[in-house]
Amino acid sequence: MKMDDLIQAFPDQLKRAIEIGEAAKIGKSKFPVRNILISGLGGSGIGGTILANVLRDDIAVPIIVSKEYQIPAFVNENTLVIISSYSGNTEETLSALMQAFKKEAQIVCITSGGLIKEYAETNDIDYVQIDGGAPPRSAFGQSFVQLLYILHHLGLLENGFKQYLQDAIALLDSEEEAIKTQAKEIAEKLNGKIPVIYSDAKFEGVSIRFRQQINENSKMLCWHHVVPEMNHNELVGWREKNEKIAVVFLRNNKDFERNQERMEFTKEVVSQYASDVIEIYSNGDSDLVRCMYLIHLTDWVSFYLADLKGVDASEINVINRLKSKLAETPF
């Protein structure tokens, strides 16, 4: 499937993910879960960051996201380690899996197959198998939803998220054409510019997802930061007019009130120096729905940017070259 077809299918992917999550067989925890580590990179890992943001007020144990070969020293039998690798062959994530197994952590894997599935089956580790055959970044819906279901199956998350997922599907289905129209308008403003993405700290994962999609789909560099932290450093860097920079604020009407005041001030400052300042407001009645809405809209922005630039949104040749180089000296 082409990238636009994959983005278009996001609501259907969420429906399929719910089916997989409902049918998943996850064993009960042998020991109390005192902390959670989610290991994954790129399109397979961003779900962990967004999950930690969205569930900040709902989960009583800390959620840490790891995007490297090593795992933290605190990991032990009271740690739930969720291994997320779409291909099942991500060497950094495979390394984390092996270390977590040696530390006797409680492990659940999310994968479409590969070495991680083999390792899980060989060592009697629980895993959830999702559908393969797509770029990892376009399988976000499947991998993210499994994170929610794993926590639910283990008694760490109540079932309210299920209604939120249904709400997100209904909203995206009803607003699809409006979302695409808005995304095209935003892409036209960002074309030829360096996007700078700002959001409330609670939605940093969504900002990172947008940045990653611009990197991979649109073949562009950009950066992101969050409020309030950027008010203590990056804000001072806005001193010179730069027609190559366009700022995007990802906003929610339910953002923390003081952060909304900070964003308004920040918008006044950067408007003096950036070529464009764009505000994208979410839709929905819960943080989970708002995240899904913003992700879908900004995915479309990244695709339309690729189209305007005349580049293939699916192509990631440089990443494939890196993997081939690394394969010369197997991990």
Catalytic residues: 216, 232, 323
Gap between the Cα atoms of 128 and 111, Å rounded: 7
Q: CA–CA distance from 157 to each of 56, 58, 154, 210 (Å)?
A: 12, 8, 8, 27
Residues 275, 282, 22, 63, CA torsion sign? positive
3-state helix, strand, coil in the chain (%, to 5): 55, 15, 30
Token output for 202: 């609670």
Beta bridge partners of 226: 199
Number of C-beta neighbours around residue 98 at 10 A? 14
Q: Collect all residues with Cβ–Cβ distance below 8 Å to 325 and sequence separation of at least 6.
A: none
Q: Collect all residues with Cβ–Cβ distance below 8 Å to 160 and sequence separation of at least 6.
A: none
Tell me the backbone φ, ψ of residue 136, rounded to 5 degrees.
-50, -40
